[in-house]
Amino acid sequence: MPTTRPRRTTLLLFVVLLACAADRPLVEVFEQGDWQPVPFRITSMGGQYAAPRVGFVLRLEGPSGRRLTVEGTVEIDPRPTLVGGRWFDEDGSTVRSGILSSAAVDYFGGQGGRPSLGGQFTLSTDDAAIYRINLPRTTLTAER
C-alpha cells in the first residue's frame, strides 16, 4: 500500500485549496503592490467544447457600469490548460486590453449536461498584471 499515502495527501491538499478558494473575491485589481477586491459580478459565461478544446467568453460588470470581457481557449489533454486568451476592460469611452494567463484551470466535462469551467486567471498588459479573476466552477451556456 505505498501509493495510499500520496493519494490521501493529494486529496487533502485539493480539498483544502478548494475550501480556501471560496474566500477569495471574484475579481481583484493589482494596486500599490497588492491585490485588492473589486465588486464585479458575472453577467454571462458562454462556451463550447470541441474536442480537445473549450472556447469560452466570460462577461462581468463592475462599478459604474464598467465591463470586463475575458475570452479564452482551454485544452483538455488530459488536464485542462489555458492555451490562449485575451481580455477587454471597458469603462465609458476608455478601453484597455491584454493577454490572459492561468496557472490553475478547473474543467468538469458536462456528462449529461453542460460543461463547467473555473480557476484563477490573470489579466495582464505587456508590462504588468492588472486583474485576477478567481472563478468558481461555472456552467457554460451555449452562447459565446
- pLDDT tens digit sequence for 66-110: 999 999 999 998 899 999 999 999 998 999 999 999 999 999 986
pLDDT at 127: 86
Confidence (pTM)? 0.81
Q: How confident is the model at residue 12 (pLDDT cuts 50, 70, 90)?
A: very low
Cβ partners under 8 Å of residue 103, min gap 6: 120, 122
3-state secondary structure 3-29: CHHHHHHHHHHHHHHHHHHCCCCCEEE
Per-residue cell: 143: 452562447
**15-60: per-residue pLDDT in tens?**
444 445 558 999 999 999 999 999 999 999 999 888 899 999 999 9
Ordered by start, the domain boundaries in the chain are: 26-139
Q: How confident is the model at residue 143 (pLDDT cuts 50, 70, 90)?
A: low
What is the helix, strand, coil percentage profile of the chain, to 5? 15, 60, 25
pLDDT at 2: 55
